Amino acid sequence: MLDWFLTPDHWQGEEGVPVLLAQHLAYSAVALAFACLIALPIGLYVGHTRRGVIFVAGFANALRALPSLGLIVLLVILFGPIFASDLAFVVPSLIVLVLLAVPPIMTSTYAGIAAVDPAAVDAARGMGHRPLGILFGVELPCALPLIFSGLRAATLQIVSTATIAAYVSLGGLGRLIIDGRAQNDYYQMAAGAVLVGLLALAVDLLIGLLSRLAVSPGLTRRIPRRAV
């Protein structure tokens, strides 16, 4: 496998590692953006109003039970007659990745908002803050640790599952695994798995750093002690 990584041809051209990595990141970023657009508003609304809790729990569990590979094949069959271009494969792949990422983001957002100290909410209400002011000025900042936790889980699931895009003839690091299996090239398969794992770790570290920057130190007990 080390020889495979050291071969220059594997790092050049349209099927080289840099191009496949860029495609993998593109699929993952688009899917995560759409998942956030869907899941965050729902989680904020349910957590703030306490309405639809049963819907959120049932909907999240239903999405978690969907078989990713079977669903992407079904969607390709359904979208094939509609799109004449690569969209017939891109759209199903993105739909599956979005459905995979929505549950952890939605449930963590709801749980974070619901776990905010009621005393802080009452204090903000007593100071004259309106509901939206309470949501975005008090509840959302306090819920950020849990929200970032769900975001990290969703991102890792997307990055690891985006390999199935190669099963329907798309790019990404999954190409190394699928093509390696077709050619009985187990070194290429192992290299693809290693690259996906390293990418997941790098993305997880990046989100962890963003979390440390965005979350108030008081919520994570990272306030430095003053010298006596």
Query: Which architecture does CATH list for 2-220?
Result: Orthogonal Bundle (1.10)
Query: What is the model's pTM?
Result: 0.87
Alpha helices, DSSP H, located in the chain: 2-6, 17-49, 53-64, 68-79, 87-114, 118-126, 131-134, 140-161, 174-182, 186-214, 217-220
Closest among 31, 72, 71, 43 to 155, alpha carbons compared: 31
Tokens in use for 83?
């799109």
Confidence label for 221 from pLDDT (cuts 50, 70 and 90): low
pLDDT at 129 over 70: yes
pLDDT at 227 over 50: no
Confidence label for 101 from pLDDT (cuts 50, 70 and 90): very high
Could you state, in order of their start, the residue ranges of all structural domains in the chain?
2-220
Confidence label for 26 from pLDDT (cuts 50, 70 and 90): very high
What 3-state DSSP class applies to 105? helix
Closest among 142, 159, 137, 141 to 207, alpha carbons compared: 159
**Please, is 211 exposed, middle or buried when counting C-beta atoms within 10 Å of its C-beta (0-12, 13-18, 19+)?**
middle
Tokens in use for 164?
């199935």
Per residue in 42-67, pLDDT tens?
Answer: 999 988 888 888 888 787 878 877 78
Taking a C-beta distance cutoff of 8 angstroms, is the pair 96, 167 a contact? no
Alpha-carbon span 163 to 172, nearest angstrom = 7
- The average confidence (pLDDT) of the chain is 85
Residue with tokens 């974070």: 112
